[in-house]
Structure 1
Amino acid sequence: MGIGEIMTAIPHRHSISRRSSIQQLQQPQNGSNSPRAGIRGRKAKAASNEVKTTITRLEYLNNKFNVNPSFDVEISGDETDDSEPEGAKEHEEVERVEIEGESGKHRRAEVHFDPRLLDIDILKKQQNVHEIESSLDRSISLLTPLFQYIQDFESNLNTLSNEMEVLQTRLVNLNDEIQKNSKVDNLLTPILNDMLIPPQCIKILLHGKLDEKWVEQLTILQEKKEILQNYETKEKFNHENIVELLGLIDKLELKCVERIKRYLIENIKYLRGTHTSSVKAQSKLLQVKEIFVFLKSKNSRLAKEFETAYVYTIRWYYYFNFVKYISSLEGLKILENEYDAERKSTYSNNLSSTSSSYGQRSLMLDNTDSINEYLINLPKRLEKMNDENNQYSILGQIAESSGIGGMKFNMEQIFVFLNQTMMDNLTIEFNFIVEFFILTNNDDINNMIKQIFSPIMKMGTNFTTYLLNNCRSDYFGILLTIRRIQRMEYEIQNRCLPELFESYLNTQLLALWPVFQRDVDALCNSITQTLTSTSIIKMVVSSKNNILVPLKITQSFSIVLSNLVQLVQNLVFELETSEPLNSSIERLSNTFEKGMVQLGGSLDDAKGKRRLFLYVNFQLVYNVLDNEMAGTPPTKVSTTGVEGQASPVGETICNHYEQLVQAYS
């Protein structure tokens, strides 16, 4: 704020209309030599000096604080009377001040003079200004390095900006190149991936272990070859390079064929050992079953030779092991439950012992008081046959130890041991042949199975004949064996086995049924001989005999008939009327009925003894059959899982004896 502005801002009550005392002092005075004039002159001079001092201070302030210091301020005013009171200063007049600018033009300005300005301590203000100036100098000295740093930073920033522009240009160029390379990669990468063979793949195929991982690499190699063969037919590819790659793959495949050949030879040699497991060798081969397909596609003649070698090797393997197994079964002791007619005691024969003739008690239904243990044990044997948890085969080592330990088995158990083992091994071998050799033609499969198992099945047939020759009187054992064979036939269909084993079982049935019929003939002869014997006629006619008690032969016959009725059902394939068992039941029933009627004819009918005798015996047979039929529901599910109905043959026999009871009641 300039001094002129300060002066203008100060209010005054009175304006100065006369010329200032400064102007008056500047004019020459008349009579200056007079004493009064001299005194006044001295006073005026003193006042003029004081005013000059004030003006000097104002000019200093004007130079320091005026916004535009180019203006010169001329201030004129009257002298201030020291005798005037302080309040008189408020009534001063406004003075006219002439201000001369740089242009030389003059203009009038009214300035309100404030006498309080005279009281301002200029020195103190000046000191403050000097302090501010020194503080500014110090600040400037401190800011000088920062200013220099900012200048350097600006210079570096310009350099960096130039470098960034260069980098941006290079980046644009690189992006263009990347886009071009990306297009090339998109075109070439799939082709390179198709053509290139991983080094790890080659390393595993040449030196790796033949396992599932090796087969995976072999599959990759085959895929690469197929892709290259597809590229070979296209014109835009270099055929020379493709042909060269195909040649390398062919050489690598020859190396793979050589390794597969050695691997198969090792496994075939393993099967020729005496203490080896075919299941273990087959499981190893199945883990790499793709190798035979590869071998068959590359060298069919060699694959056929290996197939033939395997067939003859596994044939010898099964033959060798089944010979030992059958020998262990021959060492088992069988429960024939035969009775000596004189000693009337049970005994057991070893399979190697000679069999007794038809005089055995199991085929005799007499009227003696001896307990026929053969008939008593029939329910247990039926229960074992119907037990699903009892469907197992015995190991050869266990069979040998059992024969040495004296364990005894029924005929049907020994038969099942051999045939169940044979069927299980045939199932394993059939699944392996189909899965490993990839055979789809049924004739090829049947021929291979026939070559492997024909000797074993021939041994099984001979063993069955040998077993029947040593168990001629066990007619229920034969019938239970027939039922087990029929269940095996059903199991064959579930396992989808070849027809060879079914033919083998049919051969077994053809050997078993005639023996069973022969035993039934022996039973019929035993019943006829017993009922027509003189001793039983005398016993019946004798007054000491109680006709209200059924005969012993009736009790035995009812047990035999009820168990035969229980086994009459064949719920798998055949109808009941197509089995020889139905005619056998009718023969036994007719023989017994005819013999009882003839025996009852020897009694006197005047007192009704004959009718009472026949009623009591037929009533026992009917009760046993009725209890047996009552335990059989009208519809049931057999152990083979096939729904069936109660035996119509059993119902017919039961109804027949019910009519006899009613006729003689």
Structure 2
Amino acid sequence: MWLDRLAHPSSGASTPSNSTRAYSPAPRPQQQQQHLSAGNQPNHPAFSPRSSSLSLSLSTPNASSSSLPNTQGNANSNTNTNGPLRRQNSSRLDQPGHVDPLEVLYNIIGTRPKTKDPPTISVIGATTGKPDTLVENIDFGELSLEEFIQQPKDIEPKEARKQSDVQTLEQYQTERDRFQDLHGAIAGCDDVLKSVESYLFRFQTDLGVVSAEIESLQSRSTQLNSQLENRRNLERLLGPAVEEVSISPRAVRLISEGPINLEWVKALNEFETRSANIEANATSNIKAVEDVKPLLSDLKNKAIERIRDYLVAQIKAIRSPNINAQIIQQQSLIRYKDLYGFLSRNHPALAGEISQAYINTMRWYYLSNFTRYNQALEKLKLHSNDRNELLGGDLNMQKAPFPGGRSPGVTYDPFALGRRMDILKSNNHMALSSYLAEEDKSVHGIEVPFRNFNLALVDNISAEFSFVTEMFATKSFHQSSRKVIEMFEPVFALGQSLTKSLIEPSADCLGILLCVRLNQHFAFELQRRKVPVADSYINGINMQLWPRFQKIMDMHTESFKRLAAATNTPSSSRGAVSALALTGPGGDTQSTAPHFLAQRFGQFLQGILALSSEAGDDEPVSNSLARLRGEFDALLIKLAKAGNGASGDGKRRERFLCNNYSLVLTIISDTQGKLATEQKEHFNELLKNSGGRR
């Protein structure tokens, strides 16, 4: 029976090679092999690992279920007929560690026969439950389970076994390569993990060292914080006292060795402040103060020495040719004015010597420059104006050359103001340069050189006074003013000499009055700039101009007197010629047209009034003009009588006077001011008295 063969195979039996049973290449589960080995069936071909069709056979229910009854019947018959054999098998199954093959089959097929009295086979030590691992995927083909078991084991064709071997070999090679790659990957991972392990080990070691160092630093930091706090507390207590008796090394080094600049000045101010504090604490018995005193004295002497050398060098630089002193004043002296202040406080004698050296240098500087400028102004061409150019003079007479030969006589009207008044209204406040003065070929009045010289003088005086008051601030206001006056004394003398040279040989009354008004403008400008140092110079110029103006006005008045006297002596040849020349144009003594003297007088009067529109009552213009006007009125009356005779037509004489008075009023009609109003009222009265209407 197949059950007996399954349960009791011969130990020496081998699987025949010509078995017709299909051989499955599917691998055999390990647990099933263990069960079979426990029943002494290690080489049964049904449990070969190469069986690949077992799963397909088990999946067909007809193949497995159709063979179960026969199998059970055969098993029962075998049991009944072979009692001794069953007993022999039962005696083997009773051995520990063996499993009933029938139970195995039942477990494989998953069903049991439906019998009332199923055979009970007790196996000692066997488990009745389903084994953990079952043999699956057995290919039964068209055979029943009984036929499948009874079929020869060597009937598998060689072709199938060869093909199965080839497949198994290919599968093995495939699996072998895959497992080799997997083995190599695992080995590489193992190496990487070993390196990571060593790195982590070293990192752990280094981390321990760092942790120890951090702990050391923490303790050190705590110690330093404690020391710092103690030092801060000490500095808070001793800092102010130490600051009062100490000077920074940087300041000391800078004062003794550094260049003189703004940083040097700051260090000097710091040194002076600390020195004052130390001197204030000199009465206290402090050891540090006594130790610092000699060092402060040496440093102070060094600072005084360096300041002296610096100021002397700058003063010497002013004496260089073609140097602009204002550049040195602004960039090298005013910028470091604290140096002189320190010197005056710590060494007054030396400061006085340096200030006197500066005064002497600037005295020479201004004198030399204004001398050259005066020489350039002397090259300007001026209108020649001699004594013959008077209101009652003869313009046909040959004019004398201008003293000094500055320019030949140029035809112009000396009694008309014209555009000469524009010099008072000019917006150009810059003096004419020396180069332009030397190159100028035009002819000017005496007011042009006078204005340029004094304008340059006012600008330089203002700049120098501002510099002195700021540089020598330790001096009083009067001391600074005296210093500036001392510097400009030679220049003041030069200006007075220039004014004298301009007005002495000239009879230009309008030009002199223009100089007077310019001088007044300069005085107002100096007052506006608050520069009082030139007051004496301004007053001196006025003392030159006003007397000369009055003298020339008197000369004009005398010229009218001479003409009036000439009209009274017609018998003399010269008097007759003068009378005929002055009577009328073309020698017409019967003409009632305005006389040319009235035209000349009207223009001259208009210029005087225009320049005196803002004149005060204290000026000598009013008195001089009143005398001149009186002589003019007397001359007109005599001319009227001389032209018409004693028994002549009185109406013609009145008409002659009216025409002359009307001409004068017409010329001065646009003038303004108190003096102009008085003159208009006077001539209106004369015109009314002469029978005319205005």
Q: Please give the TM-score of this superposition, normalised by the length of structure 1.
A: 0.69
Which of these residues, 491, 498, 519, is aligned with residue 525 of structure 2?
491
SS for the counterpart of 1:263 is helix
Partner of 2:692: 664
Partner of 1:336: 384
Is residue 2:273 matched to residue 1:218? Answer: no
Partner of 1:379: 418
Report 1:381-396 matches (<5 A): 381-389=420-428, 392-393=431-432, 395=434
Residue type of the alignment partner of 1:518 = K
Q: State the distance in 1 between where 2:412 and 2:325 align.
A: 47
SS for the counterpart of 2:402 is strand
By how many angstroms is 1:485 displaced?
0.4
Q: Deviations over 1:355-404 (max 9, x none)?
A: xxxxxx99xxxxxxxx873225x314323343333752553x777x57xx
Residue type of the alignment partner of 1:253 = K
- The change in CA–CA distance for 1:393 and 1:141 in structure 2 (over 3 A counts) is closer
Q: State the distance in 2 between where 1:73 and 1:174 align.
A: 80
Partner of 2:138: 118
Asked if the contact 2:383/2:443 (under 8 Å) is kept, the reply is: yes
Q: Deviations over 1:88-129 (max 9, x none)?
A: x7975389999999xx7x875368999854349999699799
Is residue 2:627 matched to residue 1:587? Answer: yes
Which of these residues, 233, 251, 258, is aligned with residue 298 of structure 2?
251
Q: State the distance in 2 between where 1:79 and 1:267 align.
A: 130
Unmatched runs of 5 consecutive residues or more in structure 2: 1-28, 36-54, 141-160, 389-393, 568-575
By how many angstroms is 1:443 displaced?
1.7
Is residue 2:598 matched to residue 1:554? Answer: yes
Q: State the distance in 2 between where 1:653 and 1:524 align.
A: 17
- The change in CA–CA distance for 1:22 and 1:391 in structure 2 (over 3 A counts) is same
Is residue 2:475 matched to residue 1:427? Answer: no
Partner of 1:197: 248
Partner of 2:14: none
By how many angstroms is 1:650 displaced?
1.9
Partner of 2:148: none
Which of these residues, 93, 97, 105, is aligned with residue 113 of structure 2?
93
Asked if the contact 1:22/1:77 (under 8 Å) is kept, the reply is: no
Residue type of the alignment partner of 1:476 = L
Q: State the distance in 2 between where 1:331 and 1:568 align.
A: 30
Asked if the contact 2:315/2:361 (under 8 Å) is kept, the reply is: yes
Superposition RMSD on alpha carbons, in Å?
5.4
Q: State the distance in 2 between where 1:517 and 1:79 align.
A: 166
By how many angstroms is 1:30 displaced?
4.3
Is residue 2:358 matched to residue 1:310? Answer: yes
Q: State the distance in 2 between where 1:170 and 1:99 align.
A: 80
- The change in CA–CA distance for 1:446 and 1:134 in structure 2 (over 3 A counts) is closer
SS for the counterpart of 1:93 is coil
Report 1:569-580 matches (<5 A): 569-570=613-614, 576-580=616-620
Is residue 2:559 matched to residue 1:526? Answer: yes
Partner of 1:356: none
Partner of 1:640: none
- The change in CA–CA distance for 1:140 and 1:409 in structure 2 (over 3 A counts) is closer
Which of these residues, 499, 502, 514, is aligned with residue 480 of structure 1?
514
- The change in CA–CA distance for 1:110 and 1:519 in structure 2 (over 3 A counts) is closer
Is residue 2:445 matched to residue 1:410? Answer: yes
Partner of 1:509: 542
Q: Deviations over 1:576-597 (max 9, x none)?
A: 3332223333333343234334
* Structure (1/2) with the larger strand percentage: 1
Report 1:439-450 matches (<5 A): 439=474, 441-450=476-485
Partner of 1:66: none
Residue type of the alignment partner of 1:218 = L
Q: State the distance in 1 between where 2:121 and 2:591 align.
A: 181
Q: State the distance in 2 between where 1:433 and 1:420 align.
A: 20
Q: State the distance in 2 between where 1:266 and 1:351 align.
A: 43
Partner of 2:221: 175
Q: State the distance in 1 between where 2:400 and 2:527 align.
A: 40
Which of these residues, 291, 298, 302, is aligned with residue 339 of structure 2?
291
Partner of 2:149: none
By how many angstroms is 1:559 displaced?
0.7
Q: Deviations over 1:520-539 (max 9, x none)?
A: 22222323443564257774
Partner of 1:568: 612
Asked if the contact 2:31/2:134 (under 8 Å) is kept, the reply is: no
Q: State the distance in 2 between where 1:501 and 1:168 align.
A: 82
Asked if the contact 1:334/1:350 (under 8 Å) is kept, the reply is: no
Residue type of the alignment partner of 2:102 = G
- The change in CA–CA distance for 1:145 and 1:653 in structure 2 (over 3 A counts) is same
Q: State the distance in 2 between where 1:99 and 1:620 align.
A: 176
Identity of aligned residues (%): 19
Which of these residues, 147, 150, 165, is aligned with residue 211 of structure 2?
165
Partner of 1:350: 403
Q: State the distance in 2 between where 1:300 and 1:406 align.
A: 54
By how many angstroms is 1:555 displaced?
0.7
Q: State the distance in 2 between where 1:425 and 1:129 align.
A: 115
Q: State the distance in 2 between where 1:576 and 1:657 align.
A: 22
- The change in CA–CA distance for 1:79 and 1:615 in structure 2 (over 3 A counts) is closer
Asked if the contact 1:336/1:349 (under 8 Å) is kept, the reply is: yes
The farther-off stretch of 167-176 and 212-221 is 212-221
- The change in CA–CA distance for 1:23 and 1:138 in structure 2 (over 3 A counts) is farther
- The change in CA–CA distance for 1:319 and 1:118 in structure 2 (over 3 A counts) is closer
By how many angstroms is 1:187 displaced?
6.5
Q: State the distance in 2 between where 1:388 and 1:185 align.
A: 70
Unmatched runs of 5 consecutive residues or more in structure 1: 33-39, 53-70, 82-88, 354-360, 363-370, 630-645
Asked if the contact 2:613/2:676 (under 8 Å) is kept, the reply is: no
Q: State the distance in 2 between where 1:474 and 1:314 align.
A: 36
Q: State the distance in 2 between where 1:386 and 1:654 align.
A: 25
Rg: which structure is higher? Answer: 2
By how many angstroms is 1:482 displaced?
0.4
The farther-off stretch of 521-530 and 294-303 is 521-530
Residue type of the alignment partner of 2:603 = I
Asked if the contact 2:415/2:510 (under 8 Å) is kept, the reply is: no
Asked if the contact 1:478/1:512 (under 8 Å) is kept, the reply is: yes
Q: Matched residue pairs, number?
A: 574
By how many angstroms is 1:318 displaced?
4.0
Residue type of the alignment partner of 1:109 = G
By how many angstroms is 1:551 displaced?
0.5
Q: State the distance in 2 between where 1:541 and 1:276 align.
A: 62
- The change in CA–CA distance for 1:93 and 1:240 in structure 2 (over 3 A counts) is farther
By how many angstroms is 1:493 displaced?
1.3
By how many angstroms is 1:413 displaced?
2.7
Q: State the distance in 1 between where 2:684 and 2:223 align.
A: 107
Is residue 2:675 matched to residue 1:649? Answer: yes
Asked if the contact 1:315/1:452 (under 8 Å) is kept, the reply is: yes
By how many angstroms is 1:185 displaced?
7.1
- The change in CA–CA distance for 1:271 and 1:130 in structure 2 (over 3 A counts) is closer
Residue type of the alignment partner of 1:179 = N
Q: State the distance in 2 between where 1:155 and 1:593 align.
A: 134
Asked if the contact 1:312/1:452 (under 8 Å) is kept, the reply is: yes
Partner of 1:260: 307
Which of these residues, 581, 606, 621, is aligned with residue 664 of structure 2?
621
Residue type of the alignment partner of 1:155 = F
The farther-off stretch of 577-586 and 267-276 is 267-276
